[in-house]
Amino acid sequence: MKSPREAGEPPPADCIQLKVPVIQQLYHWDCGLACSRMVLQYLNHLDNDEFQKAIQDLQLTKSIWTIDLAYLMRHFGVKHKFCTQTLGVDKGYKNQSFYRKHFDTEENRVNQLFAQAKDCKVLVEKCTVTVQDIQNHLSQGHVAIVLVNAVLLLCDLCSSPVKYCCFLPIGQKCFCRSPDYQGHFIVLCGYNKASGSIYYNNPAYADRTCCTSISNFEEARTSYGTDEDILFIYTDS
């Protein structure tokens, strides 16, 4: 694929950490919406009333896919590019515990969103994204929403790993079994080439920016179940 960095621009800086606001998710299912709020606030596009109206207009429910977030960006007039390995729903996910509950009801809806994307001016491309592509993108002040397997994503700064199974509010007891895959959205906001690190905001938290190694990030974002989904967001919207 073509790099998000335009030809002729200087190479990315060795270290970037963008000041993306941290917004915590409210429920176990709305990490993607929390990430969208972070991005829109970073771009000075966030209006809470308009955001709630957009959720209603787009008929977003408790099952949020990356394509939904792309449509949400389009609703706000935000320049974006959604890169994925599968243009639609991978039928192989039907038997995964994470997808099983909503798969049958969501398959047609999600496939229809992909089919209508071009007409709706939602930019979707089937392609492979490299770490260099991501670094180039971040170096220009842009951000990205990435789907990861939260079971695999490990923050080097947090004293204890986040409860990946359900992201319940503090005080609520979790009865989940540890799954093989737990889809979770994060916002990429920087990197450090010298330490080989990626910085990201995890909507499971309200008070920190997290950091992990590039190798761990790559493992989490390319895990089976993610389709290597990444939604590039551009500041020149």
Is 7 part of a structural domain of the chain?
no
3-class DSSP state of 200: strand
Residue 10 lies in a domain: no
3-state SS class at 95: helix
> Which is more confidently placed, 35 or 107?
35
Distance (Å, whole) CA 93 – CA 28: 20
Cβ proximity of 211 and 223 under 8 Å? no
d(CA 169, CA 25): 9
Give the residue among 181, 199, 184, 87 at the shortest CA–CA distance from 134. 199
Residue of 187, 183, 184, 185 lying closest to 144 (CA atoms):
187
Is the predicted pLDDT of residue 237 greater than 90, yes or no?
no
Closest CA to 113 of 127, 124, 102: 124
Local structure of residue 87 (DSSP, 8 states) = S
Q: Is residue 4 part of a domain?
A: no
Per-residue b/e over 161-187, b at no fewer than 16 CB within 10 Å? ebebbebeeeeeeeeeeebebbbbbbb
| 124-154 pLDDT per residue, tens | 999 999 999 999 999 999 999 999 999 999 9
* Residue 1 placed within a domain: no
Range of the domain at 63: 15-233
**Is 91 a domain residue?**
yes
Residue 223 has pLDDT above 50, yes or no: yes
Q: What is the CATH number of the domain that holds 117?
A: 3.90.70.10
User: Is the confidence at residue 100, as pLDDT, over 90?
Assistant: no
pLDDT level of residue 188 (50, 70, 90 thresholds) = very high
52: in domain: yes
What integer best gives the mean pLDDT of the chain? Answer: 87
Reply yes or no on whether the pLDDT at 226 is more than 80. yes
Q: Is residue 5 included in any domain, yes or no? A: no
Q: Is residue 3 part of a domain?
A: no
Which candidate, 63, 60, 87, places its Cα nearest to that of 73?
60
pTM: 0.86
Domain count of the fold of the chain: 1
What is the helix, strand, coil percentage profile of the chain, to 5? Answer: 30, 15, 50
Confidence of residue 94 (pLDDT cuts 50, 70, 90): low
Torsion angle defined by CA atoms of residues 169, 175, 177 and 182, in that order, rounded to the nearest 10 degrees: -30
pLDDT, position 10? 62
